[in-house]
Amino acid sequence: MGMNVGGGGGDDEVVSAINTTPLVDVMLVLLIIFLITIPVATHTVKLKLPVDANQPTQTKPGNVVLAVTANGQVFWDTTPVRSRDELLNRLVTVAKKQPQPQIQVRGDGAAKYMAVGQVVATCQEAGIAHVDFITEQPHS
């Protein structure tokens, strides 16, 4: 008892249909292998990431507050700073104090990143060891 699927020709005809069953089997095996190995490969280094503990900052009398307005103007407490050199000279003086006072940067939300970045770079150039950023709590 046999099954004849051909078009009525003899045994010498070439079959032009491709058997896709082995291809599907191989693809399923590869898919399973990738699904198992990708999560293992992406988490190879175990880390304990820091937890955000947002605490209110206390502004003490010795701290220096640098404010950057939306147009890039820098203020030392409430006094405008005319140039980067003036800011650098004042920060060098502060950096020599022991212990160093905290430098707190208050950047306007509309200020360009470059203006705030220049203030931080100037602090680094002056030898300030610790720079804080003052932010507001998000409104719930």
In a domain, 71, yes or no: yes
In a domain, 106, yes or no: yes
In a domain, 127, yes or no: yes
In a domain, 94, yes or no: yes
> Can you tell me which residue has the tokens 């082995």?
22
pLDDT tens figures, 3-53? 555 555 556 777 778 888 889 999 999 999 888 877 766 655 565 555 555
Query: Which CATH number covers residue 113?
Result: 3.30.420.270
Predicted model pTM: 0.58
In a domain, 88, yes or no: yes
In a domain, 42, yes or no: no
Q: How many domains does the chain divide into?
A: 1
Domain limits for position 95 = 64-133
In a domain, 84, yes or no: yes
> Which of residues 89 and 109 earns the better pLDDT score?
89
In a domain, 7, yes or no: no
Is 75 exposed, middle or buried, given 0-12, 13-18 or 19+ CB atoms closer than 10 A?
middle
